[in-house]
Amino acid sequence: MENKVDKNVENREISEEVFALRKEYTSACLHREDLLPDPVAMFRKWFEEARKAALLEPNAMTLATADSRGFVTARTVLLKAYDERGFVFFTGYGSRKASQIAENPHAALLFPWLALERQVSISGKVEKISAGESLAYFLSRPLGSRIGAWVSEQSKTISSRRLLEEKFRSLMKNFSNGEVPKPDWWGGFRVIPQTVEFWQGGENRIHDRFEYSRTSPLTEWKIERLQP
Catalytic-role residue among 205, 209, 214, 225 = 205
* Structural contact between residues 141 and 183, judged by C-beta atoms closer than 8 angstroms: no
How many other CB atoms are found less than 10 A from the CB of residue 58?
Answer: 20
* Structural contact between residues 75 and 134, judged by C-beta atoms closer than 8 angstroms: no
Q: Which residues of 23-42 are buried (b: 16+ CB within 10 A; e: fewer)?
A: eebeeeebeeeebeeebbeb
CA distance 88 to 115: 24
**Residue 117 gets which letter from DSSP?**
T
Residue 205 a catalytic site member: yes
CA distance 148 to 107: 25
Helix (H, G, I), strand (E, B) or coil at 219: coil
Rg (CA), the chain: 22
Candidates 29, 62, 27, 85; CA nearest to 210 is 29
* Structural contact between residues 208 and 200, judged by C-beta atoms closer than 8 angstroms: yes
Residue 168 to residues 124, 128, 137, 155: CA-CA distances in angstroms? 36, 27, 21, 17
Which residues have a catalytic role annotated? 205
